[in-house]
Structure 1
Amino acid sequence: MSDDENAKQICEKVEQSYQIIGRKWVALIIHTLMEEPKRFSEIHAYIPDLSKRVLNERMKELEEEGLVVRHVVTERPVRTEYMLSRKGTELGRALSAVERWADKWL
């Protein structure tokens, strides 16, 4: 692979990553899940301006991207929890640098 082809491939991957994290609410959802798995209602409570409809859409998108894992807990009462995958956790760590920048500069 030539240097030009390699650079183009890297640019495409960077653009794809910005398309994922640039969707409204995605970074906050990932931030919310960094500590521990949470139920849908807990995520919604943490981000109250996010409608349930949009949260549902984003959770499905994040699942499809392999960033979030949906887990059904079969204990009584049965509940569904969401947690970050390894891929999602690594993205969360990268976004932590943005959080530190925001805390310092905004």
Structure 2
Amino acid sequence: MRSSVRRVPSPCAQWGDKDADFIREILDLVGDKWSVLVIGTLSEGAVRYSELAEAIPGISQRMLTLTLKQLQRSGLVDRTAYAEVPPRVEYSLTGLGTSLLSTVLELAAWSADRHAEIRRHQHAYDSRTA
């Protein structure tokens, strides 16, 4: 007897397991709630740490520092320290980070544009499952 279950091809079938693992890793990084906001904030050019902290509501100093380090590690953000008194440090997008910018800004705009609709769906779902 044949099973009626249809096998659906994976959207990642075009990539090997190694590539799929890396894709998940990068999506975890750039899809993180703070990374999107940091990348978007850096869209206009170099920004000091304190300006980043002020521009991103709700981010703690610890999360901003960790997010910047992760983005630096992956080559998306550059850190420039100036030998001045007091010391000045600025963060900016690298070429790689800039190549991701339009995608990140589109995702943020999509989220903002559909905020009310998504909230309605969430509340409706929550009321059915409560």
Please give the range of the TM-score, normalised by the shorter of the 2 chains: 0.7 to 0.9
Aligned pair partner of 1:73 in 82, 92, 101: 82
**TM-fit CA distance, 1:77:** 4.7
Question: In structure 2, what is the Cα distance between the partners aligned to 1:24 and 1:101?
Answer: 14
Per-residue CA distance 1:8-27 (angstroms, 9 max, x = gap): 25533432221112333110
* Count of residue pairs the alignment pairs up: 103
Is residue 55 of structure 1 aligned with residue 76 of structure 2?
no
**TM-fit CA distance, 1:36:** 1.2
What TM-score does the superposition give when structure 1 sets the normalisation length? 0.81
Query: Percent same amino acid at aligned positions?
Result: 31
RMSD of equivalent CA atoms: 2.2
Task: Return 5+ residue gaps in structure 1 as ranges.
Answer: none
Which secondary structure does the structure 1 equivalent of 2:75 belong to?
Answer: coil
Equivalent runs, 1:1-106 vs 2, <5 Å: 6-8=14-16, 10-74=19-83, 77-106=86-115
| Conserved? CA contact 2:78–2:94, under 8 Å | yes
Task: Return 5+ residue gaps in structure 2 as ranges.
Answer: 1-11, 116-130
**TM-fit CA distance, 1:89:** 0.9
**TM-fit CA distance, 1:104:** 2.7
Q: 1:5 to 1:102 in 2, by over 3 A?
A: closer
Question: In structure 1, what is the Cα distance between the partners aligned to 2:80 and 2:41?
Answer: 16
Question: In structure 1, what is the Cα distance between the partners aligned to 2:52 and 2:46?
Answer: 10
**TM-fit CA distance, 1:30:** 0.5
Per-residue CA distance 1:52-97 (angstroms, 9 max, x = gap): 1111111111111111100123456541100000111111121122
What TM-score does the superposition give when structure 2 sets the normalisation length? 0.68
